[in-house]
Chains A and B, each alone.
Chain A
Amino acid sequence: MTFWNDPIRFAADWLRDLLTGWGLAAQMTDILLALLGALLLITFSLVLAIFLVWVERKVVARFQDRLGPNRLGPFGLVQPFADIIKLIIKEDITPAGADKFLYNLAPVLALASVLLLWAILPLASVIYGVDLNVALLYLVAAGALGTLAIIMGGWASNNKYALLGAFRMVATMISYEIPMVVSLLIPAILAGTMSVRGITEAQGNVWFFFLSPLAAVIFLISAVAELGRAPFDLNEAESEIIAGFHIEYSGMKFGLFYAGELLHAFTFGGFAALLFFGGYGGFFGLQNLPAFAWLNNPFVQAPVFMLKALIGYWVIMWIKYTMPRVRIDHMLAFNWKFLTPLALILLMTTAVLDRVLDGSNWYVPGLFLSNLLIAWATVEILRAHGRRQRKAEAARVGTGCAQAGAPTAQQ
């Protein structure tokens, strides 16, 4: 083991030797090293969040045919630091009648729920916080903590808009949690483990995206809903309830919500990369050849993972700045009447095919084709449903255009 193939353990061993050499007890050293590791990963994610503020502003500017921040530093790179200083020196307002403790706790919890996800996010095969064997359960649990932060902030603000936004957000988050967990189960079935690292290592030859593209799509849609980003941003619908649950927050407290949201989006991009797109590894078996052994080096794996996560984040941004907001009844109907049954059917199909095709040459194409078949059947059912509705509408209006799909019959 050298620094080049396992930098974290190398540094940890060196520090452990140093600390025990100073006369510290072994348990004390372990606790100190755990704290140091947590501090290191969290600092990294926070620096990343600062960078993401810049990325987000630059990309949205490009989507809207603007330049974005370009005054401070090269390409406006120093802009987020100026933003942070401004957020710190802003007045920190607590509205009258607010529940002070919960009001202050909410932004801390909102950021912490995201930072906790970084504990199970492996950046490379040897660079990770914790390799939990119940990582997927932990992912859902930490997500639920974010829901709690939102309802806390919305309720404690003593503001009608905040309460309404919080209720909408919680309705969205808990609804979309169901298809999300079901789509997370598919990698768990295919890899036979819940550990994120285990799932990633299982994709050495074939990405799970090719085994279950529909699951990846369901995960992406429910991740966007879970984040409360457009088209599911009813929680902060500017034209209706101004800013939703964080309407009363100012200064650094608002900054914590904002940083948490951006980091959350990136983290979900990272999880999509890890669970469906091979994460830090997954070079289609290339890494097993002797000539390409350097692909297994953590200094190659970490940038590969960051690139994949950034692409995932970019897709989430792309959706956000392209789609108009959906109505709340449409959003919930889309989840309960479409995404949930689809995810359950997909789960059952994957389980059956995994059992039937186990070990055969048809394993990969079989699973892929079954997904395509389900997608096609879904689209056909939706089209038939739409046709029926148009017909019923045309018959009701009685304009004489009984023909289905005629342009005058709306919807």
Chain B
Amino acid sequence: MLLEYAAIAAFILVAVLVGAIAIILGALFGPRKKTEAKMMPYESGMNPIGPGARRMPVRFYLIAVLFILFDIEIVFFLPWAIVFRQLGLFGLIEMAIFIAILLVGYFYAWKKGALEWE
């Protein structure tokens, strides 16, 4: 069991190393001639106006909140799916109730306009 996760750790180590080596190779063999214009953030040829990191529409945050809501519920689905056959009828009814509650929240969000982009 522990050995499996040791193998995953080995994967993480090698995967990060591969990327790092590729970047180091690029830095070693690439030319380095800095000019002010070249280092400017690209903005279709104009001089950039204001900072690059700026305020974003609130709609993206709304999607993130919806995602957290659904994702936590889906994490609950995963163990259920594995032991579903052992749980028998109980598991089925339990999950039906759970999905019903989930759907109430879903339709509430829909009616409130949380799923609209405007």
Any A CB within 8 A of the CB of B112:
no
Q: Contacts A31-B6, A93-B38, A178-B67 hold; do A351 and B52 have CB atoms under 8 A apart? A: no
| A256 and B99 contact, CB distance less than 8 A | no
Contact status of A171 and B7, CB under 8 A, knowing A90-B26, A107-B19, A253-B26? no
- A interface size (C-beta, 8 A): 87
Q: In the complex, which of the residues A88, A98, A109 contacts B26, with contact meaning CB atoms closer than 8 Å?
A: A88
Shortest distance from the beta carbon of B47 to any chain A beta carbon, whole Å = 12
Q: Is there contact, CB below 8 Å, between A91 and B82? A: no
Inter-chain contacts of A242 with B (CB < 8 A): 42, 44
User: B30 near A90 (CB under 8 angstroms)?
Assistant: yes
- Which residue of the partner chain, among B9, B31, B78, contacts A185 with CB atoms under 8 Å? B78
The CA of A353 and the CA of B110, in the complex, are separated in Å by: 29
Q: Which residue of A88, A158, A181, A341 contacts B25 across the interface (Cβ within 8 Å)?
A: A88
A39 interface residue per 8 A CB criterion: yes
Q: Which of A42, A251, A344 contacts B99 (CB 8 A)?
A: A344
When each residue 18-58 of chain A gets 1 if its CB lies under 8 Å from chain B and 0 otherwise, what string results? Answer: 00000000000011001101110110001000000000000
A91 touches B40 (CB 8 A): no
Q: Would you call A252 and B23 a contact (CB within 8 A)? A: yes
Q: Report how far A185 CA is from B92 CA in the complex, Å.
A: 14
Output the nearest chain A residue to B26 by Cβ-Cβ distance: A252
Is the C-beta of B12 less than 8 angstroms from some C-beta in chain A?
A: yes
Residues 81 to 118 of chain B near chain A (Cβ within 8 Å): 81-82, 84-85, 88-89, 92, 95-96, 99, 102-103, 106, 110, 115-118
Which residues of chain A in 243-270 are interfacial with respect to chain B, using CB atoms and an 8 Å cutoff?
247-248, 251-253, 255-256
Q: Which residues of B contact A111 (CB under 8 A)?
A: 15, 18-19, 22
* Interface status of A155 (Cβ within 8 A of chain B): yes
Given contacts A34-B6, A182-B77, A192-B82, whether A42 and B14 have CB atoms under 8 Å apart is yes
Could you tell me if B43 and A351 are in contact, using CB atoms closer than 8 angstroms? no
Taking a contact as CB atoms under 8 Å apart, the answer to whether B67 and A174 are in contact is: yes
Tell me whether A119 and B52 are in contact (CB under 8 A): no
Q: A289-317 vs B: 1/0 string, CB under 8 Å?
A: 00000000000000000000000000000
CA distance A394 to B17 in the complex (A): 61
Nearest CB of A to B111, in Å: 12
Q: CB of A17 within 8 A of chain B?
A: no
Instruction: Give B contacts to A, CB under 8 Å.
Output: 3-4, 6-16, 18-20, 22-23, 25-27, 29-33, 36, 38-44, 48, 51-54, 56, 60, 63-64, 66-67, 70-71, 74, 77-78, 81-82, 84-85, 88-89, 92, 95-96, 99, 102-103, 106, 110, 115-118
What is the interface of chain A, defined by CB distance below 8 A to chain B?
30-31, 34-35, 37-39, 41-42, 46, 87-98, 104, 107-109, 111-112, 115-116, 118-119, 129-132, 136-138, 155, 157-164, 167, 170-171, 174-175, 177-178, 181-182, 185, 188-189, 192-194, 242, 247-248, 251-253, 255-256, 328-329, 332-333, 336-337, 340-341, 344, 347-348, 351-352, 354-355, 358
Which 8 pairs across A and B sit closest by C-beta, in order of nearness?
A252-B26, A108-B19, A329-B117, A158-B52, A115-B15, A112-B15, A174-B67, A38-B10
